[in-house]
């Protein structure tokens, strides 16, 4: 393994681009390989065994591309599969978790909300996370069925998307939350609507920046940060419809990008 190798990132779909973009901002010289498992998105309604299987396959593909680290840019996959991945593979594997800890530190009323997928809300790891931080704070969990699908379609502003966001945010506001943690990497793309729907003073916590900082820390510890001075490359793969995903990736990434097919 050399410092010039790429950082691998995977998600059930395009949501993990919100994390990859933070990594790109902090590490502009690093190469990034991103794979969207769009054929099987969303993971939020899939059984744990299936998510473990897909996470292992995606990690294996990234390792075939000789990545020096893998970022599991998916809350559901992190909570369902990361321990197994760390057991199976030797490269650094960095996951994402709902921002419950920073939300508990931010709250003034002692009530926080967490927006997650159904599958995330059912995992033992998530239950343990909630239990760990709920001693002095009330944590209201809201499963948000349908939001991932809207982002996967590149639909961030329609009346349908807004109605879904409004329904879930209102359910949390009715329970007195003053801070909302986003427990899915797709949800940061919906922050403008969430803020518009939420009451003034409601704080929104997303964890992409924290994950990117963790990537920097891990690579620094292992002396794996690239020494090159030129801009890093971005390579995108998908297991889904290349033409569809390419359009959405280009939209979310902020510039035209080519997406390559991946048959795994």
* From 73, 74, 114, 242, the catalytic residue: 74
Encoding tokens for residue 259?
Answer: 């997406």
Task: Please say if 144 is a catalytic residue.
Answer: no
Question: Distance between CA atoms of 137 and 78, rounded to whole angstroms?
Answer: 24
What distance lies between CA 74 and its chain's CA centroid? 4
- Sign (positive/negative) of CA torsion 41, 42, 43, 46? negative
Q: Can you name the residues that pair with 116 across neighbouring β-strands? A: 143
- Write out the H or E segment, with its range, that includes residue 221: helix 208-221
Among the options 148, 184, 190, 194, which is catalytic?
A: 184
Residues in the chain, overall count: 264
Identify the sign of the CA torsion 99, 216, 238, 59.
negative
The residues annotated as belonging to the active site are 74, 184
């Amino acid at each position: 393994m050399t410092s010039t190798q790429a950082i691998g990132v995977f998600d059930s779909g395009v949501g993990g681009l919100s994390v990859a973009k933070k990594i790109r901002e902090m590490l502009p010289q690093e190469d990034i390989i991103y794979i969207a498992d769009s054929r099987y998105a969303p993971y939020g309604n899939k059984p744990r065994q299936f998510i473990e299987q897909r996470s292992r396959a995606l990690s294996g593909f990234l390792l075939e591309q000789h990545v020096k680290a893998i970022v599991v840019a998916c809350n559901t996959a992190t909570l369902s599969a990361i321990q197994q991945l760390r057991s199976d593979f030797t490269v650094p594997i960095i996951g994402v978790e709902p921002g419950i800890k920073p939300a508990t530190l931010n709250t003034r009323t002692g009530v926080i909300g967490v927006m997650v997928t159904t599958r995330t809300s059912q995992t033992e790891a998530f239950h343990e996370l909630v239990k760990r931080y709920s001693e002095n704070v009330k944590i209201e969990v809201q499963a948000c069925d349908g939001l991932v699908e809207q982002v996967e379609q590149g639909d961030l502003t329609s009346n349908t998307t807004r109605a879904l966001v409004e329904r879930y945010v209102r359910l949390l506001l009715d329970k007195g939350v003053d801070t909302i943690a986003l427990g899915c990497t797709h949800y940061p793309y919906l922050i403008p609507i969430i803020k518009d729907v939420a009451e003034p003073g409601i704080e929104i916590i997303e964890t992409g920046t924290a994950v990117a900082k963790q990537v920097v820390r891990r690579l620094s510890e292992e002396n794996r940060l690239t020494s090159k001075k030129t801009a890093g490359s971005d390579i995108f793969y998908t297991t889904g419809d290349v033409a569809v995903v390419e359009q959405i990736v280009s939209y979310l990434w902020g510039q035209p990008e080519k997406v390559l097919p991946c048959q795994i």
